[in-house]
Amino acid sequence: MILDYEVLKFIWWVLVGVLFIGFAVTDGMDMGVGTLLPFLGKSDSERRVIINTVGPHWDGNQVWLITAAGAIFAAWPLVYATAFSGFYFAMLLALFALFFRPVGFDYRSKIDNRHWRNAWDWGLFIGGAVPALVFGIAFGNLLQGVPFHLDNLLRPYYTGGFFGLLNPFALLAGLVSLGMLVMHAAVWLQLRTGEPIAGRAKRMVKRAGLFTIAAFALAGLWLTLGIDGYQVSAMPALDATPNPLTKQVEIVPYAWLTNYATHPWTLLFPLLGFAGLGLAILLSQRDRAGLGLVASSLGVTGIIVTAGAAMFPFIMPSSTDPNSSLIVWDAVSSHLTLTVMFWAAMIFVPLILMYTTWTYTKMWRRVTVEEIEAQDHLAY
């Protein structure tokens, strides 16, 4: 079956969004656990408990990030080229921070020395907190527009600098990202650990959850009142051969609210974000961490989809040359490429879901300090 080109373009926008949500819910949780490690674990045994809750899963969860990056490269090559040029140093910072995770997990237990293990614990903190913050900062910059333009050969030229990315709104978006993943991880630790770690995690759920709700609300208000959005005023047919320079784009106040005004049902997305976070806090405080994890997953999904729906059809707006902005309809690969990749995704995304579900099902139990101390041969 050959799908219509216009339909495929939209399907790939949805698929990439699904991959990012899968990454945030699974590997983002692992990052949050790494961020909390030095603070919720008061002894070496307690920190080993925390690490062992994600030890069997973290490398499999990274498949979501790798798959999302590969999907962007295949489906949106212009976005991949422009983003990795403009955000080059930010991406390197996230990548180098991520290096601490596999090395930290594997090397931490090799030497029974307090200073050695403490050093790797802080390495795991960096490997969790820095990427979570950087990814949020990157998205905050997308909502404001990125300083780049395309020449007549569609070659991207980035005209900004690294420190320009660290603007106030982007930093707030980074804090939203970090806060939601920390809260999500805290619910996980409350569910998967015994006392006293579970009690500390329970308190962290409330703190991080309330912080994320406040930061998400502030970011939404700031975006509404203080940041102009982008709007396509003219472009070829949606199934035309992609060429970003054949459209016209305007910067318009309140444009990021257009989709919500045109399609009121999309207001369910921010409501899902707020309701999911709030319900996760409530369930956590009532010691229903299992349902709380589901609620926090829905909250994370709601936050991501809220931003995606606000920007649609934009993927990477240009602040210096709006007509060079990359959107769903003109930043994509050929019809054949999208078709082949679509069927590949129909095969492998369900396999990833099945594998992830199987691993969590088989290893679903609480990890306790007594178990860790009794089985000193455990890997982490």
| Contact between 127 and 104 (Cβ < 8 Å) | yes
Q: Judge whether 99 lies within some domain.
A: yes
Q: Judge whether 156 lies within some domain.
A: yes
Q: What is the pLDDT, as a whole number, of residue 63?
A: 84
The DSSP annotation for 56-93 comes to TTHHHHHHHHHHHHHHHHHH-HHHHHHHHHHTHHHHHH
Query: For residue 99, what are the CA distances in angstroms to 92, 102, 116?
Result: 11, 6, 17
Tell me the residue type at 334: S
Q: What is the pLDDT, as a whole number, of residue 163?
A: 85
Q: Judge whether 379 lies within some domain.
A: no
Q: Judge whether 324 lies within some domain.
A: yes
Q: Judge whether 380 lies within some domain.
A: no
Q: Judge whether 241 lies within some domain.
A: yes
Domain ranges, residue 289: 5-374
Domain total of the chain: 1
Which DSSP symbol is given to 331?
Answer: S
Q: Each residue's pLDDT tens digit in the chain (380 positions)?
A: 668 899 999 999 999 999 999 999 998 999 999 999 999 998 888 999 999 888 888 888 888 888 888 889 999 999 998 988 888 888 889 989 989 988 888 888 888 888 999 999 999 999 999 999 999 999 999 999 999 999 988 889 888 888 888 999 999 999 999 999 999 999 999 999 988 999 999 999 999 999 999 999 999 999 988 899 999 999 888 888 888 999 999 999 999 999 999 999 999 999 999 999 999 999 999 999 999 999 999 999 999 999 999 999 999 999 999 999 999 999 999 899 999 999 988 998 888 888 888 888 877 778 878 877 777 665 56
Q: Judge whether 255 lies within some domain.
A: yes
Specify whether the backbone of 150 is left (phi greater than 0), alpha (psi in -120 to 50) or beta: beta
d(CA 223, CA 295): 25
Residue 3 CB burial class (10 angstroms; 0-12, 13-18, ≥19) = middle
Q: Taking the model in full, what pTM does it have? A: 0.92
Q: Judge whether 174 lies within some domain.
A: yes
Which tokens belong to 303? 């936050």
